[in-house]
Amino acid sequence: MSEFLQQLLNGLSLGAIYALIALGYTMVYGVLRFINFAHSDVFMVGAFIGYYLGKLVPEGTLWGGLLVLSGAMIGCALLGMFIERVVYRPLRHGPTLNVLITAIGVSLLLEYTGQIVFGAAPRTFPQIFPTANYHVGSLTISSNQVFVIGVAILLMIALQLIVFKTKIGTAMRAVSLNPKAAQLVGVNNNVVISFTFGLGSALAAAGGILYAMNYPSIDPLMGVMPGLKAFVAAILGGIGNIPGAALGGLLLGTVETFIGGSQFSTYKDAIAFAILIVILLFKPAGLLGKFTIEKV
């Protein structure tokens, strides 16, 4: 039983990070109907901004850690908006496939620029927040795990509030529903799309920092696997659906951890992805997605 609870906790803290990254994929898809493959590399850049900022503040202090976290989030938000402005906006009215290919190009550009700027060798991420281990019965909970889950929940609530309670959130939903109609009623699509990219990238940066805190070895290709998993999580939950992305991330992290702890650990990615296929066979739009019939 205690092993089960421990694995559940491990899985949830991993899944919370997937969920944060998945939110970025899902938001961009919701507004623009395309997959921003560069998102996983924004996640990597977030971790590296954290690495450099972490050297400027004293290690293991709460205010220093929060400063690093918000610094990385702001930095990545700017990066996300910059990528959107320079690369995606000129292509917005072309075929979706063009943007998709460009997104892969931006992803590779970030990865290999990272290898030149940051170096290809892995670096050790500093302990930016104070750490401790708590023992509850036979369960061991590290402060990092609590922190990851806590921050992820807080950010998801904040996101839900932004999308449903603010003016810009209403505009985002309007653009997602029908961009042309939104424009007709006075929504500035460019601003809304920029904002979406900024928000998604800030969440990716937070995910990057939390990931690096838990697994303190970072390198320019670190985003590839978590990015792929988060992408899958977004589809699993129903792409374009914000609570769906969160659910998908938590589910994928938990399943992966449980398989990782069994004797089939070598197959953990294969099994996790096989489960995805099965779910999509029965629910083609994902767990919380709505399947809409396209009229021809």
Q: Binding residues for other proteins, per CB under 8 A?
A: 2-3, 6-7, 10-11, 14, 37-38, 40-41, 104, 107-108, 112, 115, 119-122, 124, 133, 135, 140, 142, 144, 211, 214-217, 219, 222-225, 227-228, 256-262, 265-266, 268
Greatest Cα pair distance, the chain, in angstroms, is 60
Nearer to other proteins, 171 or 259 (CB): 259
Nearer to other proteins, 144 or 241 (CB): 144
Nearer to other proteins, 95 or 137 (CB): 137
- Angstrom distances, CA of residue 243 to CA of 140, 208, 220, 264: 29, 20, 29, 30
Residue 142, φ and ψ in degrees, nearest 5: -95, 150
CB of 290 to other proteins, least distance (A): 27
Nearer to other proteins, 120 or 274 (CB): 120
Nearer to other proteins, 96 or 265 (CB): 265
267 exposure class (CB count in 10 Å sphere: 0-12, 13-18, 19+): middle
How far apart are the C-alpha atoms of 57 and 275, rounded to whole Å?
43
CA angle 250, 79, 49 (to 5 degrees): 70
How far apart are the C-alpha atoms of 174 and 167, rounded to whole Å?
11
